[in-house]
Amino acid sequence: MKLEIDRRPLWVILLIRSFRPAFFLAIGLLFFYLINLPTPDGLTIQGQRAIALFAVCLILWVTEALPLAITSLMAIVLVALLDVLDKRTTYALFGNEAVFFILGAFILSGAVMHSGLSNRIALAIMSRFGGTPRGLLASIFFLAAALSFFMSEHAVAAMLFPIVLEIARGLNLKPGKSNYAKSLFLALAWGCIIGGVATFLGGARVPLAVGMLKEATGITIGFFEYTSMVFPTVMILLFIGYFGLTRFFRQDIPDIHLAKAVFEGKLKELGKIGYVEYAVGILMGITIFFWIFLGKTIGIAGIAIISVVALFILKLVRWKDIEEYVNWGVILMYGGAITLGASMEKSGAAAWMANAVIGDWANNPLLVIAILSLLTILLTEGMSNAAVIAVLLPVGIGMAGKFHIDTKTIAYAIAVPAGLAFCFPMSTPANAIAVSSGYITTRDMAKAGIAMMVLAWLVFNLTARFYWPMIGIRL
């Protein structure tokens, strides 16, 4: 039986279950009220309808009263029905390049996991470098980060979790009491979170932001271009993260010789490396090479889909082996978010909202980036990072014109902080998976996570101030 963790706050769950009919009636009345208000000066009727739909989707995304994918599908249909955009344009937006890149990345990541290659690499590294308590902690933390460069951070957390759980049990660590156990599971979560923002592959939030940016402005961001921009932020946060892990939870175990037996046993179960693992590894390496050097020429989605086709031509996977790794709900959600974002931009609603909400008191580019990144990093602690991007990016793009900011910087200021959720289990599946072990509590995670969240925001903004101009990113 598949275990699903409801990451919504308890008060939201109780409120929705107790007052569900009244809740949806109130949503409907709010929507009716907003679209029938007198149209404000400077806003078109299509823009007013887009804002009304945006407000409804915002409430549904925050509360998760409906699945995120269903809310997004509703948004697509209503954009067309309300004539915010014509039907052909609306439904064509669902075929955005970012959606197909995400689909291809899910399948490629699933192939790596199904082949056993990722598991073998993880065990080999931990066996090689995990000879001491600090060495094991570092190997879990940096391994989770490195794997999240190339795979979904959620998949990495799910893959490494049973290994870390067996280590904790093998070392006879006490759930909720052992500081070393707390640091191990926090290392798993933090490594996935930090590594997940390093490339397009760590999470679908970055391709979503890039897709929304392209549909709204025609501007695109390349695979290597993004990674070079975020690289210093990731490296500094990895250093701070490891330092924090060794300080927040002091080591309370003398040695870890018992963990060696866990590694050796699991490596024996895997046996010798076979043809499928070799082939999948080579294909993934070639795919990443093409993403980096030919992504803008061929298109990252085209490269991803060609690689997926190659997997099946070479019979490295079967569809029934891989379909469990494809999160169709995420794909539907992202298609809807791109459509809603494009409708906000093309109708003029985004620019109008930007001016009305933030325009009067954000008076320079650095302050705009600081405000947007702070709002993003705070909101992503309590709601889906994809929903945060869908909410804030259209407004941010609207602000870019007023302050003459390169719209790429707006995408960076929202897409990167949206992945840096350290505080709560509901913030990201990596945190939820760590807490589900029973070895670390929500309180422990929040206590360390708040400090990490503040430091992450500071590091990001310092990088924007001093590093971005050095690589030609205009603020």
pLDDT reported for residue 1: 46
Q: What angle do CA 163, 239, 191 make, to 5 degrees?
A: 30
C-alpha distances in angstroms, 370 versus 198, 206, 376, 462, 471? 20, 19, 10, 10, 19
- Give the single-character DSSP code of 173: P
pLDDT reported for residue 15: 67
Q: What angle do CA 201, 206, 208 make, to 5 degrees?
A: 115
Do the beta carbons of residue 195 and residue 149 sit within 8 Å? yes
pLDDT reported for residue 34: 93
Do the beta carbons of residue 153 and residue 203 sit within 8 Å? yes
**Residue 416, SS3?**
coil
Q: Residues with Cβ < 8 Å from 258, sequence gap 6 or more?
A: 170, 171, 172
Per-residue pLDDT for the chain (475 aa), expressed as one digit of tens each? Answer: 455 566 667 766 776 667 778 889 999 999 999 999 999 888 899 999 999 998 898 888 777 788 878 988 999 999 999 999 999 889 888 877 878 888 888 888 889 888 888 888 878 877 777 678 888 899 999 999 998 998 888 778 878 887 888 788 777 888 888 888 899 999 999 999 999 999 998 877 888 899 889 888 888 898 899 999 999 999 999 999 999 998 888 776 766 666 677 777 777 888 888 899 999 999 998 998 898 888 878 888 899 899 999 999 999 999 988 888 787 877 887 788 888 888 887 888 877 876 776 655 666 788 888 989 998 898 887 667 777 888 888 888 877 876 778 889 999 999 999 999 898 776 777 888 888 888 888 888 888 999 999 999 999 999 999 999 898 877 6
Residue 337, phi then psi, degrees to nearest 5: -65, -40
pLDDT reported for residue 371: 87
pLDDT reported for residue 236: 96
Name the pTM for this structure. 0.78
pLDDT reported for residue 357: 66
Could you tell me how many residues make up the chain? 475
How many angstroms separate the CA atoms of 471 and 204, rounded? 25
Domain ranges of the chain: 43-471
pLDDT reported for residue 100: 87
Q: Which of 174, 148, 172 minimizes the C-alpha distance to 159? A: 148
pLDDT reported for residue 315: 93
Q: Which of 414, 272, 345, 452 minimizes the C-alpha distance to 54? A: 345
How many angstroms separate the CA atoms of 45 and 302, rounded? 37
Tokens for 42?
A: 């400077």
How many angstroms separate the CA atoms of 115 and 320, rounded? 14
Q: Where are the alpha helices (DSSP H) in 299-415?
A: 300-313, 319-322, 328-346, 349-357, 365-379, 385-403, 407-415
